[in-house]
Structure 1
Amino acid sequence: MQHKVMVSLCLVFLIGCTPKEKSYIPQEGDLVTWKQNPQLIVKAKLGLRREHIPDQFDYEFYRPAREHYLGQFPIDYTPEKFEPIAQQEADSLPMPDSNRQLQFDLKLSNLDFQATDGYLPDHDDQVRVRIEGLTIDMRAEKLDTYKTFLQRKEFFKKNSKFEKYGLTCYPKKVADNFYGCYGKSKEQDVAGVLLDVVALENTVDNRFVQIRGESYEPNKYGGIWVQWETNLNNWDKWQEIDSAIWRLLGTWNSAPSPQKLTK
């Protein structure tokens, strides 16, 4: 009996001391095939990698090998187009983690700056983009971008509508210099873009995201929620940003042909 216990303890120590195999972290230039959903499967060569900003929750949540971050690209970037993958391969691909879905950054100028995963955009000319699936509630209510805009009108000041940069905007009740805007997209089957704008300057002691853009689109790629962030100086570039996002998704998408949405 004592011999068996000793053997068991030895095995425990051996297993505990065996180094775990490290997961591969995707690098710039790697060709990846990442499944957002059955109708949106991105096949792309990765761009410049972002720098991680450590925080106290890294041990629990930071998993760079599982992140679907495509890279940082110029807004006029034209990626290589790949043929649709086979249905068998598509079925075998895992869905992304709920908190590590498709992401990429866009640059609105030729300036060089390092992308990070920090809380705020890294530069005045950066756009951070995140793609998620529509929530169960969104699908149940059959929400799209314009319907969501109408729902939010209760938070806007009455009789305060104004037009700016091709957007319909309202000041918000919550505070001066806070605005909600809606603009129509040039993309087929896309209802439009919602903007939440905070028209205040960032300071050393008070930093925040100045513009958040959102599109809730049930008719694109099986239903996706496009989210992006940028700085106030890019308010007038909202349509250029929107068009670039949809153009890139269309080029990157290599889902099997029968499942692709008609453009």
Structure 2
Amino acid sequence: MTASTTRRRPMKWTGPHTTQALRTRAWTFWTSAVASVDSQVRPMQRLKSSLWIMAITFILLIAVKLAELFPDKLTLALEIRAKVTEYVRLRIEALRSENPGQFQNVSALRTNAMRYLPHYFRKGQITKMFFCFPDPQFKARLHRRRIVHTPLLAEYAYLLAPGGILYTITDVEELHQWHVEKCSSHPCFTRIPDSELESDPCVKAMTEETEEGKKVARGGGKKYVAVFRRKANEDVAVDNLFW
């Protein structure tokens, strides 16, 4: 057989970038991630009472303040950014060490609330939900990514106990109008008049105890607040929607 007709044996790749090695690394990462999430979810699922207060986005200080306002209830702050979540976790640990026996009712969890929120809570388990200075997603094609949206409001209504309250705050007037429009048109929510919010300590905490709220105040900006109450099941006009 001549050299021109000799077939070369295929080269055998070895090392950390082979298909098998990549599969092994991916599987190891996935199993560790699932175990981490499972360890956080299972303790929550064992709680059956409606004692949760949940804060979503820009959670730096409001979660701690809510824990002080409601020592008999649990506050969980949800944030998708790893560094922010870690900062809050370390701060809570520092407060616990400085104040023995206190701040045991507050925690922070890194997660995508828009995707995985129903995995953490039961129906009617949450009493208050806070959406503090969420991403406005200005482009029209990105409006579907806004955290207050008609499809997501169905989930929030399912998780909120009847009479529970949904708080929103933003420094973008257009987004505030979006919040009002979407929540007011949803059959499970009714807006609470602004006159009733003056005595609500949660509104004060939301406007004054968040990093973004303080930033807006320093810049002389305006903060727009809209608060909505979850209707009782019998007051919802749509039949068999969530129950």
* TM-score normalised by length of structure 2: 0.30
Q: Which structure: larger Rg?
A: 2
Between structures 1 and 2, the one with greater strand share? 1
